[in-house]
Amino acid sequence: MDVLDQSEIRIPRRHTGRRKPRWQPTVQEALKCEKSEKRRTSAIMLGLSIKEVSAALREGKLSATELCRKCLQRIKKTRHLNAYITVTEELAMRQAQEADDRLLRGKPLGPLDGIPFSVKDNFCTENIETTCASRMLRGYCPPFNATVVQKLLDQGAVLVGKTNLDEFAMGSGSTDGVFGPVRNPWSYAAPYRTLSHGTDPDSDWVITGGSSGGSAAAVASLSSFLALGSDTGGSTRNPGSLCGVVALKPSYSLLSRHGLIPLVNSMDVPGIMSRSVHDTAIALSVLQGRDEKDSTTVQAPDSHPAALPQEFDVRDLCVGVPKEYHAPGLSAETLSQWTRVAAMFERAGARVCEVSLPHTQYSIVCYHVLCCCEVASNMARFDGLQYGHRSAVESSTEALYATTRHEGFNNVVRRRVLSGNYFLLKQNYERYFVKAQQIRRLITEDFRRVFASGVDVLLTPTTLSDAATYSDFIQEDNRTRSAQDDIFTQPVNLAGLPAVTVPTSLSSRGLPLSLQLIGQRLQDRKLLAVAHWMEQQLDFPLIRFHDEDDVQDTKSERNRDRERTSGS
Amino acid sequence: MAASCSGSSAILHKCVPFKSMCNMHQCSGVFIRRIWTSGSKCQLQPKLQSKSASQMVGVVALEIHAQIQAKSKLFSSSRVGFSAPPNSHVSFFDASLPGTLPVLNRRCVEAAVMTGLALNCKINTKSLFDRKHYFYADLPAGYQITQQRVPIAVNGSLSFSYLGGKKRSEVMTKSVRVRQIQLEQDSGKSLHDDQRSRTLIDLNRAGVGLMEVVMDPDMCCGEEAAAAVRELQLILQTLGTCQGNMAEGQLRVDANVSVHHPGEPLGIRTEVKNINSARFVARAIDYEIQRQIEVLESGGTVLNETRAFDSKTGMTVPMRDKEGLQDYRFMPEPNLPPLFVYEGVDTVPDGFDPAHVVVIDRLKAQLPELPRVKRTRLMEEYGILPEHSFTLVNEDGLMDFFESVVQKTKMEPRKLIGWVIKELMGNLNQQNLKVTQSPVSPEALAQLLNLLESGFISSSAAKVVFQEMWKAPEKCVEQLVKELDLGLISDREELVKICQRVMDAHPDLVKVIRGGNKKVLNKLMGVVQKESKGRADPVQLRNILEEMTS
């Protein structure tokens, strides 16, 4: 079937310059398009915020099917990014049509009705392949929707596809999945192409970060207005940061994990990615709350409205800056952003103070032990008997198990399973698991103490620097990379706190730099209010691609790359 | 079984070739032979042991898995049903589809708390769930959710009785410590099709709630263990927390058995599994005690292993697939918060609906009359003996039968109990019937006893009628009495005639009586009763004979 508009779309070469607050095309600008300008305006339309596009849908200035078609076209145009594993074209068009029917009757389901979104491929989607980017689950179609997916569908949001990731969300680059690495859209954007002096985009492209790299790339490249990621040690915030999108890791237990294929149950949270804090807040209000299917969920603390306060006074705010986050390897540029934003808060009247989180340094090793243990346990169900990959070796049940698991999992998963089982052995349990849990408590206690002393939010870097090129990134193995890249994000998961990353500016290489705000448990709304204020003061640009030819060129390269990955 | 399995394979999940299991079967055959040769040399009855062997005694601890009687499973909403079509009661969670999470069934928690209270346990107001890992085809998640660290109930006791002594009519009472009761998931079932060398999996049972009752090694033989199992079964059935049918696997008994010389440390134990009736509990344990004694006496060592009881041969054999010590790699279950139960409604924290939490006091108030209390009540209420009340409660349905007869007759319960225990149970046992299958209904027995009580028939005649009622349940009692001509002879003249006839036939006896030996009168009475088919009223008969021989 072919529902796509066949006309060529070119990505605009230039935006209307910088403005304050953050650059946004007006709806009128986006919609008063003549046919000759169609290509240009479609990108502008895709760059609108959810709030704006939702208003346009209600006012009938735009149809949901048209919007959906544009997103699907954008997905095709950006296929070289390898952001999507599955594109649900047919379903999306059907959902969009239903949204249009409701919109025509003047009865939209809510602010997300007709809004295209994508979902990381470790959330179950009913009758839609859910792979976890693993050979183990290739071809697996769950018979149910994850609660967070269902909630978005119930709001009329339009699912355009399932996004790429590291296998079973284990990684920080989105480079270790069976479908190959995800490319950062900013690799093909004007600033990077200009500043990297015209080197070959096929070899110098940068990674998205991970493990929710596909979701981050989808939102950053304007093919989805909203994407779900998952965040266990930073998997939503890390790629959010490197791709220049707003990425929220909500408080543990605020969002249901039912249908999220687990990495570490006690740390996993569905993450929200969008291009503005406001859009994130809309999604959060839809997704949060108790779910009978997940016993660890709690009721959202209060029934606050979806909208964030327009005027937020930071003068009553105390912003903590943890001294331990001045970590080795922190780039000068990230540090200067950190300093700049802290100063910005201070200038606006907030109290900025240095705080100490002494046990943060142990977070990596603690996380490593707990993560491997739960991975070993969670992966035990993949034995080839009921679903997923099944080896042809059937000489005995044990041989069937062993070869199925060997063939189905990549090295990263297998190593974590092995380590986890070792840590859980009776003779090792006290030495590793129990000790790690004790350290986890100390880390949690660090945060509690700081917040009890009057700090409202913590301001930290999200990543050490801007995105690395793929060729640099793969110089180190997954384990080393995860340990390096998660240091600012992971303690938050151990403590169950909410954290959001907000892009601040482009680096000297033309790549996004971001900072993280950490809030108190279940105070996600307050955290977003602060993030919203910060976003308004900053001036982060919308992506603009270098030119269409770059996109064309990379296609062949991408295919080569994919063959190589799947053939190995 | 293989045929039925392959027939329904279309609705089964997957079939797995299971070569290793086939190997096991072959190997266990070898073991059977070996043990047979060593074991056949001596008698397996403990009472016939040689002197040196009798110095060693058995030590028995039980681990009992009781399937919780509930509409749905422990962590999912799929139904619980025995003998449903394979894989018809399987939720996404039961099949361990990735992304599914456990949701605790309150009914199962209440059942465990009630059972804990009935077994005098301390109920832990906060308990925890753990994962126990092992790979097995009918354990789809690769781990079982159980309560290893902090179970729901601890430190209880179970007192039980059995009939012992010389005539096996004396009530012996003992108590074992109950270490803990833990909630856990049942596994699925593997059906091995040896012919096609494959295994079929049925997940209907996977995830059904179990209470594992762990007892301390306080017993010494099969009989005690069987009595303890029976008492637990009665308690669970009374509470309604488990149906307790061993043949259907609702109650599964694993026995940890070792032997030692009294006063010395406990010996190495084996775990005996696959015991599926109360009768086999005693047989399996006694066999295993005897086997271990023989192994040790012949200079061998007992291996710490899992053995299966074979009900056909009455022996235990090693289970190959459970060989070696497993490391279960226990880990806290991260998807379930701690399980809180509350002492009273007043201790339920704000924000929780007391109707939706488990409150101990509330359950305590709902506890039904437990078997022990019931036995005491029966003794006091009806003036019956301890062994009678024991039998009444321990035989399924017998107490109801008894009480129903009591209600319908004028006969003293104390007299009536003999009819129920001796006549009714004697006949039932002889024909291997349950009380509910008795051809004689409580109503019919009551009618018979009323005839006896009103003096219409004699006691010996009543026994004859009872046997006839057993054979012809469709006939009413009066009809049988009439047909058999067993009504008491109320006509004095007729009795005198019979007596005269008997006295004429036994002049020697009459002579002895007249000579002063009154005891011989009884003998004469017996002959008359025989002649009259027991239709003479004994008191009246004695009077007549005394008159006639004086």
Which residue in B133, B135, B336 is closest to A383 by CB distance?
B135
Query: What value does the mean pLDDT take over residues B14-29?
Result: 36
pLDDT above 50 for B33: no
Quote the DSSP letter at residue A125.
Answer: B
pLDDT above 90 for A435: yes
**Residue B539's domain spans which residues?**
492-549
Of A100, A102, A113, whose CA–CA distance to A66 is shortest?
Answer: A100
Partners of residue B100 in chain A, C-beta under 8 Å: 258-259
Q: What's the length of chain A?
A: 568
User: Is residue A205 very low, low, confident or very high in pLDDT (cuts 50, 70, 90)?
Assistant: very high
Residues B14 and B37 in one domain: yes
Partners of residue A265 in chain B, C-beta under 8 Å: 334-335
CATH number at residue B537: 1.10.10
Inter-residue contact A420 to A372 (CB < 8 Å): yes
| Interval B489-544: pLDDT, tens | 777 888 888 888 888 888 888 888 888 888 888 888 888 888 777 778 778 888 88
pLDDT above 70 for B466: yes
pLDDT above 60 for B259: yes
Residues B544 and B466 in one domain: no
Which residue in A142, A394, A424 is closest to B331 by CB distance?
A424
| Interval A171-192: pLDDT, tens | 999 999 999 999 999 999 989 9
Q: Give the model's pLDDT for residue B534.
A: 75
Partners of residue A385 in chain B, C-beta under 8 Å: 13-14, 16, 137, 140, 201
User: Is residue A561 very low, low, confident or very high in pLDDT (cuts 50, 70, 90)?
Assistant: very low
Q: Is A142 on the interface with B (CB under 8 A)?
A: yes
| Domain presence at residue B383 | no
Query: What value does the mean pLDDT take over residues B290-298?
Result: 95
User: Is residue B321 very low, low, confident or very high in pLDDT (cuts 50, 70, 90)?
Assistant: low
| Interval A44-73: pLDDT, tens | 789 999 999 999 999 999 999 999 999 999
| Domain presence at residue B89 | yes
Residues B71 and B137 in one domain: yes
Q: Which of A377, A423, A438 to mutate to test the interface with B (most CBs of B within 10 A)?
A: A377
Among B302, B332, B362, the domain boundary falls at B332
Among B480, B501, B518, the domain boundary falls at B480
| Interval B165-199: pLDDT, tens | 887 888 999 999 999 999 999 999 998 888 888 88
Q: What is the dihedral of CA A199, A201, A204, A210, to 10 degrees?
A: 150
| Domain presence at residue B58 | yes
Query: Cα–Cα distance between A408 and A417 in angstroms, integer?
Result: 13
Share of chain A above pLDDT 90, in %: 77
Quote the DSSP letter at residue B423.
Answer: I
Query: Cα–Cα distance between A514 and B445 in angstroms, integer?
Result: 91
| Interval A102-142: pLDDT, tens | 999 999 999 999 999 999 999 999 999 999 999 999 999 99
Query: Cα–Cα distance between B117 and B109 in angstroms, integer?
Result: 12
Q: Give the model's pLDDT for residue B324.
A: 59
Query: What value does the mean pLDDT take over residues B434-439?
Result: 92
Residues B283 and B184 in one domain: yes
User: Is residue A546 very low, low, confident or very high in pLDDT (cuts 50, 70, 90)?
Assistant: low
CA dist list (Å): A542 to A17, A181, A333, A443, B94: 11, 23, 20, 37, 47
User: Is residue B22 very low, low, confident or very high in pLDDT (cuts 50, 70, 90)?
Assistant: very low
Peptide bond into A21 cis (omega under 30): yes
What are the structural domains of chain A?
27-311+539-567 (3.90.1300.10)
Q: Give the model's pLDDT for residue A20.
A: 40
Asked if A397 and B20 come within 8 Å (Cβ–Cβ), the reply is: yes
Among B332, B352, B385, the domain boundary falls at B332
Residues B186 and B287 in one domain: yes
The nearest alpha carbon in chain B to A387 belongs to: B97
Q: Give the model's pLDDT for residue B341.
A: 97
Query: What value does the mean pLDDT take over residues B428-436?
Result: 91
Peptide bond into A211 cis (omega under 30): yes
Partners of residue A295 in chain B, C-beta under 8 Å: 101-104, 335-337
Domains in chain B, number: 3
Partners of residue A386 in chain B, C-beta under 8 Å: 13-14, 95-97, 140
Q: H or E element: which one contains A513?
A: strand A512-518
A351-355: strand order across its sheet: A84-87, A158-163, A116-120, A226-231, A269-274, A246-249, A499-506, A512-518, A457-461, A318-322, A351-355
Residues B203 and B224 in one domain: yes
Q: Are strands B170-185 and B209-215 parallel, antiparallel or unpaired?
A: antiparallel
Residues B273 and B319 in one domain: yes
Residues B434 and B503 in one domain: no
pLDDT above 50 for A271: yes
Share of chain A above pLDDT 70, in %: 87
Write down the ipTM of this complex.
Answer: 0.89
pLDDT above 80 for A199: no
| Interval A273-293: pLDDT, tens | 999 999 999 999 999 999 999
pLDDT above 60 for B70: yes
Which residue in A265, A386, A424 is closest to B335 by CB distance?
A265
Of A18, A8, A84, A92, whose CA–CA distance to A42 is shortest?
Answer: A8
pLDDT above 50 for A490: yes
Residues B245 and B163 in one domain: yes
Q: Give the model's pLDDT for residue A194.
A: 86
Query: What value does the mean pLDDT take over residues B16-29?
Result: 35
Q: Are strands A158-163 and A116-120 parallel, antiparallel or unpaired?
A: parallel
Q: Give the model's pLDDT for residue A113.
A: 97
Per-residue b/e over A62-82, b at no fewer than 16 CB within 10 Å?
bbbbbbbbbbbbbbebbbbbb
Q: Give the model's pLDDT for residue A395.
A: 87
H-helix segments, B12-125: 19-39, 51-54, 106-118
Residues B522 and B459 in one domain: no
pLDDT above 80 for A491: yes
pLDDT mean across residues, chain B: 86
Q: Give the model's pLDDT for residue B46.
A: 44
Higher pLDDT, A256 or B41: A256
Query: What value does the mean pLDDT take over residues A307-333?
Result: 91
Share of chain B above pLDDT 70, in %: 89
Q: Give the model's pLDDT for residue A64.
A: 97
| Domain presence at residue B386 | no
pLDDT above 70 for B21: no
Asked if B331 and A426 come within 8 Å (Cβ–Cβ), the reply is: no
Q: Which of A369, A383, A395, A437 to mutate to test the interface with B (most CBs of B within 10 A)?
A: A383
Partners of residue B337 in chain A, C-beta under 8 Å: 295-296
Count residue pairs from A and B with Cβ separation < 8 A. Answer: 116
| Domain presence at residue B389 | no
| Domain presence at residue B357 | no
For residue B309, give how far its alpha carbon lies from the nearest alpha carbon of chain A (Å).
25
pLDDT above 70 for A305: no
pLDDT above 70 for B25: no
Place of tokens 């601040």: A504
Residues B70 and B111 in one domain: yes
List Cβ neighbours of A257 (8 Å cut-off, separation of 6 or more): A265, A268, A269, A270, A294, A296, A297, B101
For residue B293, the one-letter residue type is I
| Domain presence at residue B337 | no
Q: Is A265 on the interface with B (CB under 8 A)?
A: yes
Asked if A385 and B140 come within 8 Å (Cβ–Cβ), the reply is: yes
Query: Cα–Cα distance between B73 and B204 in angstroms, integer?
Result: 10
User: Is residue A198 very low, low, confident or very high in pLDDT (cuts 50, 70, 90)?
Assistant: low
Instruction: Show the beta-strand stretches assigned E in B79-147.
Output: 122-123, 126-127, 130-133, 143-146
| Domain presence at residue B78 | yes
Give the HSE-up count for residue B472: Cα atoms under 13 Å, Cβ half-sphere: 12
Residues B312 and B167 in one domain: yes
Asked if B13 and A385 come within 8 Å (Cβ–Cβ), the reply is: yes
